[in-house]
Amino acid sequence: MSDEMMEDEGTIKKFGYVNRKAPYGTVYALESLEVVLIGAAFDQDVSVIFMDDGVYQLKKGQDTKASGMKNFSPTYRALEGYDVEKLYVEKESMDIRGLSTDDLIVPVEVKSSEEIMQIMEDQDIILSF
């Protein structure tokens, strides 16, 4: 099996982050974003997938003043500056939740479930949140 071969120091792997949780109710969305930011420094081939309630992470207009939590949604807009440009959102997850790309804080690629399947299959490593 090819994956048992020794990796070179400079090997670039495909890192897929799968975000399926809504923000604020639990910490997973925030701490996932922290991994993506740190991971960007490692020059890997990064894809970030949003599905299920994870699509709510990208909702425009988040205002946490009254809830007292940290609004981390602007950070998604900074991802491009870290060369994290492959943001994928599953269409079905958006449709179920009545969302369209106009509702999202960053430009994303909307993908069918079938396409998300292929993107996941293409990854070397998947970090699930």
Residues that bind another protein (CB under 8 A): 3-4, 7, 11, 13, 15, 18, 20, 27-28, 31, 34-35, 38-39, 41-42, 44, 51-52, 90, 92, 113-114, 116-118, 120-121, 123-129
d(CA 19, CA 2): 29
Q: What is the smallest separation between the CB atom of 119 and another protein, expressed in angstroms?
A: 9
Minimum CB–partner distance for residue 61 and another protein (Å) = 25
**Shorter beta-carbon distance to another protein: residue 23 or 60:** 23
Identify which of residues 92 and 103 has a Cβ nearer to another protein in the complex.
Answer: 92
Pairing of strands 45-50, 86-90: parallel
b/e map 29-63, b = 16+ CB within 10 Å: bbebbeebeebbeeeeebbbbbbbbbbbbbeeebe
